Amino acid sequence: MDLTYTPEEEEFRARLREWLGRALPALPPKPSPDDWPGRRAYDLGWQRRLYDAGYADVHWDASPTMRLIFLEETEKAGAPYVGAGFVGLLHAGPTIAAEGTAEQRARWLPPILRGDEVWCQGFSEPDAGSDLAALRTRARRDGDDYVVSGSKIWTSHAEVADWCELLVRTDPEAPKHRGISWLAMPMDAPGITVRPLRTLAGSAEFAEVFLDDVRVPVGNRVGDENDGWRVTMVTLSFERGTAFVGEVVACRRVLRELAGEARKNGRWDDPVLRRRLGRLNAEFRVLWRLTQWNVSEAMGVPPVERSRDWGRAGGVPGVGGSVFKLRYSHARQELYDAAADVLGPESLDLDRPWVLDRLSSLSYTIAAGTSQIQRNIVAERILGLPKGR
């Protein structure tokens, strides 16, 4: 396994770094965290700048190594995160690129890349979170439409989304993993009610979504009817395998800042804290190497035949993404627990750096599949252990 970069990749890094140096100072002020329409405009504006500069399609139409370099350099430079574009760019878009028809790719991928449209994720339900295949939202076929009824929860960015990647049950009589379909639902369709949810950290990037006889064209189904669970595994592979890469770089930066703060406030004299920060440094270095390994592995996976026009340079991330997601979730929580040790009593001040990040880190062992689910995946699909009964 070769973890070094080619001259072409290093040239890409240098060119991207130079462009970021020119583009970032020209950005407008970032809106308030509670101003989601403003945040949508800000995030999509950044995506449009990437599009105009030729970097927008790096998530799909570049090698996994190029994607890794892109995420590393943009995070190091302090570039805006994908924000409201998260689901479209890192979940729905790659899934449509890999599984959609030529017509679907032509319809949905360019607007995502240009920063014209936002997607949300309609997967989890009140009684189907970790056991996602137990979902009960129904889609009844009526001519050229599905008529969808049910509810979703923790729907990312639903209040500002144009489209929803939606999992529905199209065959209630089939085994639960086999009666599911993956739909692209327009969020302006009649019958949709969105109720924002406020998190422990005070943000409202999630929502409940209620669906009352919402009509979705059959042509909006990605993959075959009742084959949605397989398509979902493609989505989750992207979510667990590459979506958190930039955050590893961010955590390494936070760790350096924590060490600097500890030196200033005297906490560096505590040998227990120094050992803790040293171990975390080793942890995130290993996670970065694991990321490179997963990317190297994905390079050898042939792209899905139907994706020859989009994402042709790289494959779908493998189950190694579950190893990464499992360890990263816990390492992130440990990092911000260490931040609380560095800050001392000031760790209760919501205006201090890292405090809100600590609150949000609590969700990482749940989001994108709980740690328990990731352990099952690792046990069954990597270690070959028998499934639980």
Q: Residue 274: count other Cβ atoms within 10 Å of its Cβ.
A: 14
If you search the block for the tokens 């965290």, which residue do you land on?
A: 33
d(CA 342, CA 145): 56
Known catalytic residue: 239? yes
Which of 125, 165, 239, 297 is catalytic? The answer is 239
Q: Is 101 in contact with 63 (CB distance < 8 Å)?
A: no
Contacts for 280 with CB less than 8 Å, ≥ 6 apart: 255, 331, 334, 335, 338
Q: What is the pLDDT along the chain (389 residues), one digit of tens a residue?
A: 445 778 999 999 999 999 999 999 999 999 987 788 899 999 999 999 999 999 988 877 777 778 888 888 888 898 998 888 989 988 899 899 889 999 999 999 999 999 999 999 999 998 876 678 889 999 999 999 999 999 999 898 899 999 999 999 999 999 888 999 999 999 999 999 999 887 766 677 789 999 999 999 999 999 999 999 999 888 777 655 555 677 788 888 889 999 999 999 998 999 999 999 999 999 888 888 777 776 665 555 443 333 333 343 344 455 566 777 778 888 888 998 888 888 888 888 777 888 777 777 777 767 666 767 777 766 776 777 787 65
Task: Please state the pTM of the whole predicted model.
Answer: 0.79
d(CA 329, CA 254): 15
Nearest residue to 276 (alpha-carbon basis) of 350, 336, 356, 361: 336
Q: Is 324 in contact with 240 (CB distance < 8 Å)?
A: yes
DSSP 227-253: BHHHHHHHHHHHHHHTTTHHHHHHHHH
